[in-house]
Structures are given as structure tokens and as C-alpha cells.
Structure 1
Amino acid sequence: MNLSHLTSDGNPAMVDVGAKAISRRTALARSVVALGPDIMQHLTGADIQTRKGPVFQTAIIAGTMAAKRTDDLIPLCHSLGLDNCQITITAQGSDAIIDCLVSTEGKTGVEMEALVGASVAALTIYDMCKALSHDIVIRETKLMEKTGGKRDFKRE
């Protein structure tokens, strides 16, 4: 198996995308945060209000900021100018479902930007709610779909 971020002698390297064509790239990532009933009882309308402020609104801002700075966090990611980053957070039962949709016109995909955006939004929810309960679990973060590049992907 050839890993794209390793040279032939096994050293880490950024992938050379210089010869790739520019195309529309999109990615949707999802994180699920199990908050539990102790926290969800504070849900008012579509957000949880705490002394730190509105939880979901703050997490959307944090996730967007993180998606834009992915190359500062993941060593071999390319610097990308994002055309769009949309984060939505919905309450389903005692879970917060975070969807991060990212797009750009470029030579490389935006999967990592979507995953980082969803992850940091989840971590922000944890940070803002830990005063209410530490029984919070970030259950999963996964790529739901991507378009552009060599092949598209959609999780069933």
C-alpha cells in the first residue's frame, strides 16, 4: 500500500498537487456529542444557554475558525482558501449533531477541513457544557461525503 504522505524512503512529505487540475471540492463531516439529560434540560429553543454564552452558536464560530486554519493544525495539509464553511448543530434526543460542510475550488480536497471544523465544534460544546456535567462523550467524527478529485464518496 502506498501512502500519499510518505516518500519512497518512508519520510513524511506534503503531496505535490502542482499537476492536478482545479475542480470544485466539497466535504461534509459529522460529529456526534452525547450530552445527556442533565445538560439537555438547559436546551432553550435551538441552543443551550450557559454563563459562557450560547453553546451551539459559539461552537459554530469555533468550528468555522478551525476549518479555516486546518493547515496550522495538521502538519501535511495544504493551505486552502475556503469558498464556504457551513456548520449546523441540531439536538436529537440527548445528542448534539454537528454537520460541517466545506467547499473550495482547488487542486486538493477539503475533507480535513470539514473534519477539523466538526471536531473543534464538538470540543467547544464539551468545554462550554463541562460545568453542567462531565458525563459528555464525543462519540464519533466521520466523513459523510466528499465530491471532486479522483473519486466521490458518500457514506450510506
Structure 2
Amino acid sequence: MSEFTHFNDQGRAKMVDISAKETTVRTAKAKTSIELTEEVYRKITNHEIGKGDVLSVAQVAGIMAAKQTSNVIPMCHPIPIKGVDIEFEWNVTESTFVLLITSTVKTKGSTGVEMEALTSASVSALTVYDMCKAVDKGMVIGPTYLVEKTGGKNGDFLRKDT
């Protein structure tokens, strides 16, 4: 089982020892989306959702999620987050209303922040859903994916289809 880094000699889960890894600046960017009805789109953009400013709350939730990732993903290391930025962009056509969410997370440490960026983007989308579900429960979240990452021994990654 030595080829699997998250399993011990007995084949059971373990947290990988990163104590020997070099401390470097590492970044990760993840994206997700949430498809909405026209009614939900208009209520968000006109600040008519009863729970408050949807995008502001989703932004704060995403930042909090990045900082708490190791509390919900069992094998993630708690790491010092140095920065989180969440951006929202509307992709609206005649018949579709999609909110694009991008989360960029940065650290200086010995492990990457891919999971923090993915968690941050996901929780931002889930927060939009939570705040708008009284208007429509049919919203669709995803896909969620890593766009890019920098730093670390495995080098940089850039998704080719974005």
C-alpha cells in the first residue's frame, strides 16, 4: 500500500506527515456555479432576498470555509491562510441565469490550498442556495473544479479547458 500516501501499513487512513516539506508560497483557484431562475436572479440583483445581501453573505461564508477546511475534510492539514478572494460573475442569457463563483486562496506553508479553494467556492454556492431556497429550491450547483494551483514539489497546475 506504499503507493497510497494516505494509508498506513495496515491499509488504514492516516494524515500524511508534511514536516519535511519545504515552506513555499502556494495558491489555488477553484470555480463553481449555481444556476438560478430568472426570479431568483432578479431578487438577488435587486437586493430583495429577505435574508439579506446574498453575495456579501456568500463571500463571507466562503472566506470562513477556507479557514475551516481542515475541520470538515478529515485528511486536510490545518494551515495558515494568508489570503482568500471570492469573485462573482453573472452569466445571463435569454433563458439561463448562472452565477459563476471563483475562489482564490493563498498560503505560505508546506502543503497546498487546493482543498481550501474548492471548499470556499462550494460553501459560497451553498450559501446562495440557502439564502434563496424560499424562492426556489430547484437551483443547481456545479460543476466545481480546480482551475489552477502554484507552488509545492509537484509544481504548478493549470486546467486546460477553462
If the TM-score is normalised by the length of the shorter chain, which range does it land in? over 0.9
- Structure 2 partner of 1:85: 84
- Structure 1 partner of 2:11: 10
1:29 paired to 2:30: yes
- Structure 1 partner of 2:119: 116
What fraction of aligned residue pairs are identical, expressed as a percent?
43
Gaps of 5+ in 2: none
Deviations 1:19-67 (A, max 9, x none): 111011000011111112221122436xx54110011110000010011
Query: Normalising by the residue count of structure 2, what TM-score does the alignment of the two structures yield?
Result: 0.90
- Alpha-carbon RMSD across the aligned residues, in angstroms, is 1.4
Q: Distance in 2 between matches of 1:104 and 1:133?
A: 37
Q: Distance in 2 between matches of 1:155 and 1:131?
A: 35
Q: Distance in 1 between matches of 2:9 and 2:122?
A: 32
- Structure 2 partner of 1:56: 55
> Counterpart amino acid of 1:120?
V
- Structure 2 partner of 1:132: 135
Deviations 1:102-155 (A, max 9, x none): 001100000000011001001000001111111200021111100111221111
User: When the two structures are aligned, how many residues end up with a matched partner?
Assistant: 154
1:65 paired to 2:64: yes
- Extract structure 1 runs of 4+ deviating beyond 4 A: none
Q: Which has the higher strand share?
A: 1
Deviations 1:78-121 (A, max 9, x none): 11110000011121110111100000110000000001100100
Matching residue within 94, 98, 103 for 1:100: 103
Gaps of 5+ in 1: none
> Counterpart amino acid of 1:154?
L
- Decide which moves more: 120-129 or 86-95: 86-95
SS of 1:28's equivalent in the other structure is strand
> Counterpart amino acid of 2:121?
A
Post-superposition shift, 1:10? 1.2
Post-superposition shift, 1:8? 3.1
Q: Distance in 1 between matches of 2:23 and 2:49?
A: 44
Query: Normalising by the residue count of structure 1, what TM-score does the alignment of the two structures yield?
Result: 0.93
- Structure 1 partner of 2:159: 155
